[in-house]
Chain A
Amino acid sequence: MSKLINSINEAIKQSGLKSGMTISFHHHLRNGDFVMNAVVDEIAKLGIKDITINASSFFDAHAPIIEHIKNGVVSGLECSYMSGRIGVAVSSGILDKPVIFRSHGGRPADIISGKSHIDVAFVAAPTADKMGNCSGKYGPSACGALGYAFADAMHADHVVVITDNLVPYPLSDFSINETYIDAVVKVDKIGDPAGIVSGTTKITRDPVGLVMADYAAQTIKHSGLLKDGFSFQTGAGGASLAAANYLKDIMLAEKIKGSYGMGGITKYMVDMLVAGCFHTLIDVQCFDLDAVNSLRTNPGHREVTASHYASPIAKSAAVDNLDVVILGATEIDLDFNVNVHTDSSGVIMGGSGGHNDTAAGSKIAMIIAPLVRARLPLISDKVLCVTTPGKTVDILVTQRGIAVNPNRPELLANLKGTGLPIMDMRDLQKLALGITGTPKPITRGKKVVAEVIYRDGTKIDEIMQVI
């Protein structure tokens, strides 16, 4: 028996896909993904219209989808993150229906509960066998973990695996197994390795970033949480990686044995695992080749589903035991609400990803960001879009000062007398405005282009059209 189908076109026909249905994709091939565009091109050729795409993320590589929105093939988008030209086009109002944004934990929760139904899931797989056992750890387009693809594969009505590396049955080290898979298609290439994972992710050399990283590491050191069993997540931004690197030095010097590092995993988290800072890495997606290699070879480096990572409806998720998470922000306001959905002009350039999941689960959610970026102050009276509610954000670290959320008096007490530049949020805002001048409020259109769904399923904000 074999589930092999000759082409994407035939697999779509066999799936029974009809106008008005929902299809899904994961984003582990990131900006190197060829699969979404290839599938939607074939759907267009078959004359199918009014399709909703539920993808864990959209990147600039998916700009051809804009044409398929204009020609009526695609009428709805749902995701956790959206960047590049597609974010600009959506912000200008090309869709009649608002985009639905969910967090990395909220997306699988809604798929599993049935709130968000997927008719046909297309799973890009760097390695697969003829029955659909598949993995991201091997093959010319290896991406490492496939964490975001599990809920789609396990709960869609019909599941098509698309691979460029077909191996003899059975693939032993599979991530997603054949019991969920209806069809397998072999194509020449599922992606461009240069866009899938970076050769290496790099820590910042920018002095402003290094100051922020140092403050972040010192803050964690004095937080009261840095002791045996410590758990930690950080993003792949240059300053966050530098903070992780400083933290590693502190943990090694003080002989602290942490429990787990989590996230999008990079070389720096792998180095911390190897050095003994953690006994486990919990990996929902890999950002560089070192992470992919480590996931393949180190038993302490474990792939998890997006649901295990961050689901708000699972019996438990790994975010629930997180001590400290370092997160970014395009804007933060006086109530500590954070925006990572839009830039300061209101144009969509991101999304929660795991931002509001980890902020809610962690004991300390730390935002690190420069006080001023290209004349725009980080701190506003009210953010243009609330991604993460301020009640779950504990501390802001900038190069000029650190603000502690007033709802965390014990954290403030731990940081007193450490020499760290603790300031009131309002004073930090005044400092920024003294440098930049006061920006004129931007004018936005009346049309809602996106709805932001918080991890608990409630609508936390709307994004308005940019005019």
Chain B
Amino acid sequence: MEIKAKSFAGTLESSDVFVEVSPNSGRKINLESVVLAQFGDDITRVVNEVLDSFKVDNIAITLKDRGALECTIRARVETAIRRQEGK
């Protein structure tokens, strides 16, 4: 999938993650997390898995994580990607 427009998903509430995606050349992940020390690698792996599953190679994705569970992160990333499809 090609990222053509900016789009967002999620909130900055505790246990949620705010995701912002925008067009880019190459895959750039910018992660900020309250549990970076404990789960930083895990979160990056999950984001890459979702991007792989949608075959997104060119994207700038920023995550402001407030301690979201893995299922939440997957859902927010997928939503951010698919929201820009219709734009």
Which A residues form the contact surface with B (CB < 8 A)?
Answer: 344-345, 373-376, 435-437, 439-440, 442-443
Contact = CB atoms under 8 A, between A and B. Distances in A.
B66 A374 contact: yes
A375 B37 contact: no
A378 to B, nearest CB: 13
A439 B69 contact: no
Given A374-B67, A440-B39, 7 more contacts: A375-B68, A375-B69, A376-B67, A437-B39, A437-B70, A440-B38, A442-B38
Interface string B1-35: 00000000000001100000000000000000011
Nearest to A441: B38
Interface of B: 14-15, 34-35, 37-39, 41-42, 66-70
Given A435-B69, A436-B69, A437-B70, A376 B42 contact: no
Given A374-B14, A375-B15, A439 B67 contact: no
B34 A440 contact: no
Dominant secondary structure at the A interface = loop
Contacts of A345: 37-38
A91 to B, nearest CB: 13
Given A374-B14, A374-B15, A375-B15, A439 B70 contact: no
A388 to B, nearest CB: 23
Of A373, A375, A437, A443, which is in contact with the most chain B CB atoms at under 10 Å from its CB? A375
B70 A373 contact: no
A422 B70 CA distance: 28
B14 to A, nearest CB: 5
B39 A373 contact: no
Contacts of A443: 37
A374 B69 CA distance: 8
A440 B69 contact: no
Contact of B41 (A375, A435, A440): A440
B48 to A, nearest CB: 16
A205 to B, nearest CB: 15
Nearest to B40: A440
A439 B14 contact: no
A327 B52 CA distance: 46
B37 A442 contact: yes
Contacts of A376: 35, 38, 67
B32 to A, nearest CB: 14
A437 B35 CA distance: 12
A270 B35 CA distance: 39
Contacts of B68: 375
Contacts of A374: 14-15, 34-35, 66-67
A435 B71 CA distance: 9
- 8 nearest CB pairs, A to B: A374-B67, A439-B38, A375-B67, A442-B37, A374-B14, A375-B35, A374-B15, A440-B38
B25 to A, nearest CB: 32
A152 to B, nearest CB: 37
B84 to A, nearest CB: 27
A443 B39 CA distance: 13
A375 B67 CA distance: 5
28 contacts: A344-B38, A345-B37, A373-B14, A373-B67, A374-B14, A374-B15, A374-B34, A374-B35, A374-B67, A375-B15, A375-B38, A375-B39, A375-B67, A375-B68, A375-B69, A376-B38, A376-B67, A435-B69, A436-B69, A437-B42, A437-B70, A439-B35, A439-B39, A440-B37, A440-B38, A440-B41, A442-B37, A442-B38
Contacts of B67: 373-376
A435 B41 CA distance: 17
